[in-house]
Amino acid sequence: MSKVAAIIGRFLIALIFIFSGFGKLIDPAGTGAALAGVGLSPQLAIPVALFELAGGLCLAAGFMVRLIALLLAGFTAATILFFHNRFTDPQQGVMALKNLAIIGGLALAFAHSQIWSHYYAIARERQGEILANKAEARVREAELRAERAEAEARALRSAPGAVPVTTAAPATARTVDTDGDGYADTVVRRRRWFDW
């Protein structure tokens, strides 16, 4: 649920930049005049509009959220310094506080994106550990099977009355004297690779 709330909040903050950038693109002359009024070059109107529009769209889409949040927070802080720096004027003070709230929202977007980035990294690391543990368990099981087979083979060789395998006997079978009468009664077949 917190992820859904973060996406909605990020989208709502992005709308401010999207509409502001779009408005500046529609009226570049008015934007240039506003920039000239605070001592900035009017030629910055189009780059500022494109930056706001692109940054807002990236933020809304969730593309490079941390970087975009930092850039937009810096841009918003610059608007406070250049346009809303008369804090004794109630209207300018409200605009400065609004921009500070936007910076706070961008900081939350940055932090939430950072948390999910760490969560996904931890989840990937944990998945790797689980796969490594499963592989180790399979190796241990194979070693245990091999040890059991070897112990069974030693037991069969050391059993009383065991008849050694002759060269005429097939390589996959062994005879064993199970009742102790001195004659081989049982043929024990060894497992071959294609019997598994």
Give percent above pLDDT 90 in the chain: 40
Instruction: For the chain, list the strands marked E by DSSP.
Output: 173-176, 186-189
Q: Please state, in angstroms and rounded to a whole number, the distance separating the CA atoms of residues 186 and 164.
A: 13
Burial of 126 (0-12, 13-18, 19+ CB in 10 A): exposed
Q: Please state, in angstroms and rounded to a whole number, the distance separating the CA atoms of residues 11 and 41.
A: 31
Query: Residue 122: is its pLDDT beyond 50?
Result: yes
Which one is predicted more confidently, 167 or 6?
6
The residues, any chain, with a CB within 8 Å of residue 48's CB and separated by 6 or more, are 21, 24, 31, 35
Q: Please state, in angstroms and rounded to a whole number, the distance separating the CA atoms of residues 14 and 12.
A: 5
pLDDT at position 87, please?
A: 80
Mean of pLDDT values over 77-100: 90
Which one is predicted more confidently, 150 or 181?
150
Which one is predicted more confidently, 28 or 119?
28
Residue the block writes with tokens 């889409």 = 61
DSSP letters spanning 34-48: HHHHTT--GGGHHHH
- For the chain, the first-to-last Cα distance in angstroms comes to 50
Type of residue found at 163 = V
Give percent above pLDDT 70 in the chain: 76
pLDDT in tens, 21-47: 999 999 999 999 999 998 999 999 999
Query: Residue 86: is its pLDDT beyond 90?
Result: no
Q: How confident is the model at residue 130 (pLDDT cuts 50, 70, 90)?
A: confident
Query: Residue 164: is its pLDDT beyond 60?
Result: no
